Amino acid sequence: MNQDNVETSNYDLFKINLGKELCELLHNTDGEIEEIMRNPDGECWIIKKGAGEVCLGNLQNDVAARNTIEIVASSMRVTCDRKRPTLIGEIPVLKYRFTGILPEPAEKPMWSIRIPSPRIYTLEDYEKSLVMTPQQTQMLKKWLDDRQNILIIGSTNSGKTTLTNACLHYTSKYNERHVLIEDTRELRCSARNKALLRAGDYASIEQLIAVTMRLTPKRIVVGEARTGVVAQVLIEACNTGHKGVMCTIHANSALDGLYRVGELIRQVQNLVPEEIARAINAVIFIQAAQDSSWRRVTEMALVKGYSGEFQLDYIKED
């Protein structure tokens, strides 16, 4: 059986164990459902735009939940069991982000599926829907035109990746080589000259960033900086002549995003903050409402340097 057939077979088993009601939610096409979750007590929840977290009741028993996690692990050719009870990856065929936890960390199996937006929003869409102001939109376009190194910052489910995809939609008009690096397929790029690299057991994100620097990229986009090694290699790439770099990171403000980069890097080596200030040219902070009814870009700033603290020149509305 070839790999495509194996993946299709795994997906069929995945759907059987997920159950009809959850499968229907998984295939929603209106973009209203952003995440499906199963808690250890058996209750299933969704995150829905405008409604926040909604309980659906007990839609999957413990055996089916365990099978769901193990099928995803099998499709990724890894083991998820008592010795390795956590799994981060993507479901077969659809490639949606999947997180699973087996006992003992969780009392009973639990999992979460992040559902990407079915459409790619443009920067013009952001302006029309008031996620960004006209001034913010024009400034971001200028940063992208100038191939500034941009850090996109926000909390979980704030819309960092969706904003990154809007930026990629804008830069795709340029006949420049885009290299996209991530561990789950969420970035979307319509540029003709592009390379999509996915990290896994065979190659880490930091290894892919390092090798990308030898591929003559004009724009490097990293899905997320989660570890010290990734942050370190990313900053090194920015400080060795590479422009047009974009990356997302979890933090609570534009300023906190820069400090978060430093905190990650200090896990693996000493770093003077001035190196971060030289590497990152601009920062964007995006927020979401508790019920996911709205998202807003609330901070945009140029990084002017470091003198005891990061110096930011915030974009102010006229």
Dump pLDDT digits (tens) for 141-164: 999 999 999 999 999 889 999 999
Q: Which domains does the chain have, with CATH numbers?
A: 3-114 (3.30.450.90), 123-314 (3.40.50.300)
Residue 15 scores a pLDDT above 70: yes
> d(Cα 238, Cα 297) in Å, to the nearest integer?
24
Q: Extract the runs of DSSP E, i.e. beta strands, from the chain.
A: 33-38, 43-48, 52-58, 86-90, 97-101, 110-114, 150-154, 178-182, 194-198, 219-222, 245-250, 282-288, 295-306, 310-314
Query: pLDDT at position 185, please?
Result: 87
Percentage above 90 pLDDT, the chain: 79
Query: What pTM, to 2 d.p., does this model score?
Result: 0.86
Triad 104, 110, 113: Cα angle to 5°: 140
Per-state percent for the chain, helix, strand, coil, to nearest 5:
35, 25, 40
Q: Mark 293-316 as b/e (b = at least 16 C-beta within 10 Å).
A: eebbbebbbbbeebeeebebeebe
Q: Extract the runs of DSSP E, i.e. beta strands, from 61-123.
A: 86-90, 97-101, 110-114
- How many other C-beta atoms are found inside a 10 Å radius of the C-beta of residue 243? 14
Tokens 């200028």 locate to 142
Most confident of the following: 1-10, 46-55, 243-252 = 243-252
Percentage above 70 pLDDT, the chain: 98
Residue 1 scores a pLDDT above 60: no
Q: Is 77 exposed, middle or buried (0-12, 13-18, 19+ CB in 10 A)?
A: exposed
pLDDT band at 290 (very low <50, low <70, confident <90, very high): confident
Inter-residue contact 242 to 234 (CB < 8 Å)? no
pLDDT digits (tens, 9 = 90+) for 159-186: 999 999 999 999 999 989 999 999 888 9
Averaged pLDDT, 16-32 = 90
pLDDT digits (tens, 9 = 90+) for 228-286: 999 999 999 999 889 999 999 999 999 999 999 999 999 998 878 999 999 999 999 99
The single-letter code of the amino acid at 160 is: K
Residue 291 scores a pLDDT above 80: no
Q: Give the chain's end-to-end CA distance (angstroms, integer).
A: 62
pLDDT band at 202 (very low <50, low <70, confident <90, very high): confident
Picking from 82, 107, 111, the residue whose alpha carbon sits closest to that of residue 98 is 111
